[in-house]
Structure 1
């Protein structure tokens, strides 16, 4: 077992190397605008997962995934040369859906902000349908008018 700090440092280094290599070495026409967002290395330093996003539609994402799968050997050898470690971890590329989820959340929050603004605008000129405070309070029970009317009702019965 390797030190977790070493695994984190190696993951950061792999992310840097892979992103630079994709930009400069990989000339596959299927490769779109790929951004490496994260890399994670297992604690035994044998496997590395590289997360990426692609700017474009679903076909661009699928084509970029194929291009990265075909370039895995070149990228792994580049990582091995630049890190100088004894055993180079295998690379697995995974499409990162976090930016899509974040964009959906931002859109939902914007819709809620508009709904709140509309509700606040409607609330500015709103009035109560009945009394502003429809509840009974103990001090209301001590009204002299209520006492007189209740005593008259008792004497009538």
Structure 2
């Protein structure tokens, strides 16, 4: 079994090789809007998972998935030529959901910022409910205590 450092180095190399292969070797127009975002390899170097994003809508995403499945053999052959391991790992393509999660997070942050601005506006005109110094003791009360 290989160590995880070698697997991560191999994953980065596979990421570059697959991206170059999509650009130069695969002539399918369905894969033109694909960006390879990450790659991970198992510690035994037998399986590679490649994460990708697609520029476009849901139909472009589904078409890109079909195009990647059809080009899997060509891309695996490219990986086999350009890496130095005994066995070429199998490739699995997974659509990356990080951009969707990031846009959702940005929307939540925008709402929180608006609520903070409303709260700041309300707190400008707010006054204390009691005295400014609730522990202040009047002189009359101090003498009796």
TM range, smaller chain: 0.7 to 0.9
Map of 1:104 onto structure 2: 104
Larger Rg: 1
Secondary structure of the corresponding residue to residue 66 of structure 1: helix
| Contact 1:3 1:43 (8 Å CA) reproduced | yes
> What is the DSSP-based 3-state SS (H/G/I as helix, E as strand, rest coil) of the residue aligned with 2:31?
coil
Q: With the length of structure 2 as denominator, give the TM-score of the two structures.
A: 0.88
CA change 1:15–1:144 in 2 (3 A) is: closer
Q: Indicate yes or no: 2:87 matched with 1:94.
A: no
Large movers: runs of 4+ above 3 Å: 132-135, 137-140
Supply the distance in 1 between the matched residues of 2:65 and 2:142 (Cα, whole angstroms). Answer: 84
**Per the alignment, in what secondary structure is the counterpart of residue 75 of structure 1?**
helix
- Asked if 2 retains the 8 angstrom alpha-carbon contact of 1:32 and 1:55, the reply is no
Partners of 2:51 and 2:120 in 1: CA distance:
42
Equivalent residue, structure 2, for 1:56 = 56
Per the TM alignment, residue 111 of structure 1 is displaced from its structure 2 partner at its CA by: 1.4
Hey, what does 1:39 align to over in structure 2?
39
- CA RMSD, 1 decimal: 2.4
- 1:123 counterpart residue number: 123
Higher relative CO (Cα under 8 Å, sequence separation at least 6) belongs to: 2
Unaligned runs of 5+ in 1: 148-157
Partner residue, 1:6: 6
Aligned partner of 1:25 in structure 2 is 25
Structure 2 residue runs without a partner (length 5+): none
Q: Distance in 2 between matches of 1:19 and 1:132?
A: 68
Look up the match of 1:150: none
